């Protein structure tokens, strides 16, 4: 069975009438909504801190690292390991917040779709 496609006036593919046409339109709409949500996540920033604000990390909703800020008073050449731990803790918190944000925005769009590993 082959799909019947028609090219719209703006060059977009659209499905001709048939039993699957409404479902295909829904999938195309879902694809647009997911793309818009991804764009929004890329523009949204989450912030996480560690050590009472000694280390601050900013990350987008798509988990792109935007900035790392370290207060000068926590930089101790004699205790680099402590600073490494603070950076790691702030990074993990930012990553968790970013994933939660993505799940909050994308899960409603997925509706009843059961896609393992989506979030």
Question: Using the 8-state DSSP alphabet, how is residue 115 labeled?
Answer: -
Average pLDDT for 56-77: 96
The residue ranges of every structural domain in the chain are 41-109
Q: What is the pLDDT of residue 14?
A: 57
Q: Pairing mode, if any, of strands 45-50 and 13-15? A: unpaired
Confidence band of 1 (pLDDT split at 50, 70, 90): very low
SS3 of residue 43 by DSSP: helix
Report the CATH number of the 41-109 domain.
Answer: 3.30.1310.10
With bands split at pLDDT 50, 70 and 90, how would you rate the model's confidence at 89?
very high
Write down the pLDDT at residue 42. Answer: 93
- Greater model confidence, 24 or 41: 41
Rounded to the nearest 10 degrees, the angle between the axes of helix 80-110 and helix 21-43 is 150
Note whether 94 and 48 are within 8 A (CB): yes
Selection from 12, 37, 39 nearest residue 25 by Cα? 12
């Amino acid at each position: 069975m082959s799909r019947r496609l028609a090219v719209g006036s703006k060059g977009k593919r659209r499905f001709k009438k048939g039993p699957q046409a409404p479902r295909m339109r829904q999938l195309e709409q879902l694809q647009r909504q997911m793309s818009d949500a991804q764009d929004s996540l890329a523009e949204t920033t989450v912030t996480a801190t560690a050590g009472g604000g000694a280390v601050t990390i900013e990350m987008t909703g798509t988990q792109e690292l935007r900035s790392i800020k370290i207060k000068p008073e926590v930089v101790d050449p004699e205790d680099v390991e402590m600073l490494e731990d603070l950076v790691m803790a702030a990074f993990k918190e930012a990553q968790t917040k970013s994933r939660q944000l993505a799940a909050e925005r994308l899960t409603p769009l997925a509706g009843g779709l059961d896609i393992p590993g989506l979030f």
